[in-house]
Amino acid sequence: MYFWDPTYIILLPAVIFAMVAQFKVNSTFNKYSSVMNSRGYTANDVARRILDDNGLYNVPIEHINGNLTDHYDPSSNVVRLSDSVYGHTSVAAIGVAAHEVGHAIQHAQGYVPIKIRQAIIPITQIGANLAVPLVIIGMLISFLDWLIPVGIFLYTGVVLFQAVTLPVEFNASGRALKTLEESEILLPGEVKMSRKVLSAAAMTYVAAMFSALMSLLRLILIASGGRRRNN
């Protein structure tokens, strides 16, 4: 049976990596959420200041529910900060807010990787939903075996999305830390703490990339195994 095939073992390292990365980002954020910045800024104050300093007066900041659900929405051109960030004065919250503003600046400046990521989102959604079913159908119905490479090709879109996401996220964090330091929003020691939070968060994107690669490898192995059985 497909759902019990031994290729699942390929995903085990990716699952462990993702769990460790998620634990690390949560524990690091919680640790530095207790450290308040010396100047008394709130995360949304900092986000607004950085946006205005870059001429992005038209980009609003919204409060959304959830823990670390912060994001920049390019379709609405809005920075959204979560319950654990909006209104908080911790160095962790300020680092996260500055990171999301970094995405808004990327969008405004036409940063190429973020434009590529936005362009391939529809392909990524199709690949994530249809790749595995297409491969399975191709394996089960011999005259539809041409669906196998189609499914694998579609899933490469997921891998490409994750690959492009890495420079987008690293660049946003780099912009955030540079701004926090050069604008003296945080003291040097506080910047180091924010860096640790953003570095931990970055590992979740590395884990997602690794997971996508392992899933693609598994899909290829399943397809090649099915073809051998059919032959």
Domain boundaries, the chain: 8-230
Q: Could you say which of 62, 100, 169, 190 is catalytic?
A: 100
Q: Residues of the chain with pLDDT > 90: what percent?
A: 74
Which segment of 54-58, 204-208, 221-225 scores lowest on mean pLDDT? Answer: 221-225
Q: What angle do CA 52, 73, 69 make, to 5 degrees?
A: 100
**Predicted local confidence at residue 231, as pLDDT:** 52
Cα distance from N-terminal residue to C-terminal residue, the chain: 19
182 is catalytic: no
Q: Distance (Å, rounded) from C-alpha 9 to C-alpha 123?
A: 27
Q: Distance (Å, rounded) from C-alpha 197 to C-alpha 125?
A: 29
- Residues 97 and 43 sit within 8 Å (Cβ to Cβ): yes
Alpha helices in the chain (DSSP H): 12-32, 43-53, 91-109, 112-140, 147-182, 188-230
**pLDDT class of 229 with cuts at 50, 70, 90:** low
- Residues 141 and 226 sit within 8 Å (Cβ to Cβ): no
Mean pLDDT of 205-230: 83
The predicted-structure confidence for 44-59, as pLDDT tens digits, reads as follows 999 999 999 999 999 9
Tell me the pTM.
0.88
